[in-house]
């Protein structure tokens, strides 16, 4: 299991990612599309780092500690939903960032707009589920 410090650092990174996403949305509203894309790409990269360094190892502990004996309860269900939504959101985020990065004509990026809001909604939902997991695991641990 990851330490409280690692879990807290990951949560802090996710809050930074959320701030970057909100700033990026503001830049988009101001029609500063290049800065918007750079900010979004930065958010995706930070998110990937958190996933690779903490989230995947933490989630794998669920299966490595006692293979075949996972007790299904509310927090396990929340964890699986968190992983599913988060995986879809990060995959879409990567696709959006990569597709933006390799386009010379910004007008073609606007076709991706219909995917951006659902991706943000998925990511925020996964973030909220992650916060619930953080509070549940660490409150139980600390009490």
DSSP letter for each residue of 87-130: HHHHHHHHHHHHHHHT-S-GGGGGGGHHHHHHHHHHHHHHHHHH
Report pLDDT for 127: 93
With tokens 């909100």, the residue in question is: 22
Q: What is the pTM of this model?
A: 0.80
pLDDT of 83 strictly over 70:
yes
Average pLDDT for the chain: 83
Name the residue with higher pLDDT: 130 or 103: 130
- pLDDT bracket for residue 110 (50, 70, 90): low
Residue 75 host element (H or E): helix 74-101
Question: CB 65: neighbour CB atoms within 10 A?
Answer: 10
Question: CB 119: neighbour CB atoms within 10 A?
Answer: 20
Give the chain's end-to-end CA distance (angstroms, integer).
17
Q: For the chain, what percent of residues have pLDDT higher than 70? A: 80
Q: Is the CB of residue 37 less than 8 Å from the CB of residue 53?
A: no
pLDDT per residue over 7-57, tens digit each? 888 889 999 999 999 999 999 899 898 888 889 999 999 999 989 988 888
pLDDT of 80 strictly over 80:
yes
> Which whole number is the average pLDDT over 76-85?
90
Compute the chain's Rg from CA coordinates: 17
Report pLDDT for 128: 94
Report pLDDT for 129: 93
pLDDT of 1 strictly over 80:
no
pLDDT per residue over 57-71, tens digit each? 877 776 666 566 667
């Amino acid at each position: 299991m990851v330490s409280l410090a690692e879990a807290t650092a990951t949560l802090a990174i996710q809050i930074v990612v959320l701030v970057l996403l909100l700033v990026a949305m503001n830049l988009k509203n101001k029609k500063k599309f290049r800065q918007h894309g750079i900010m979004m790409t930065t958010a995706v990269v930070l998110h990937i780092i958190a996933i690779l360094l903490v989230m995947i190892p933490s989630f794998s502990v669920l299966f490595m500690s006692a293979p075949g004996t996972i007790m299904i309860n509310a927090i396990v269900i929340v964890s699986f939903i968190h992983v599913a939504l988060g995986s879809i959101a990060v995959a879409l985020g990567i696709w959006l960032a990569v597709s933006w990065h390799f386009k010379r004509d910004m007008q073609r990026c606007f076709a991706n707009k219909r995917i951006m809001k659902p991706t943000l909604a998925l990511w925020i939902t996964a973030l909220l589920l992650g916060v619930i997991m953080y509070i549940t695991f660490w409150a139980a641990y600390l009490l």
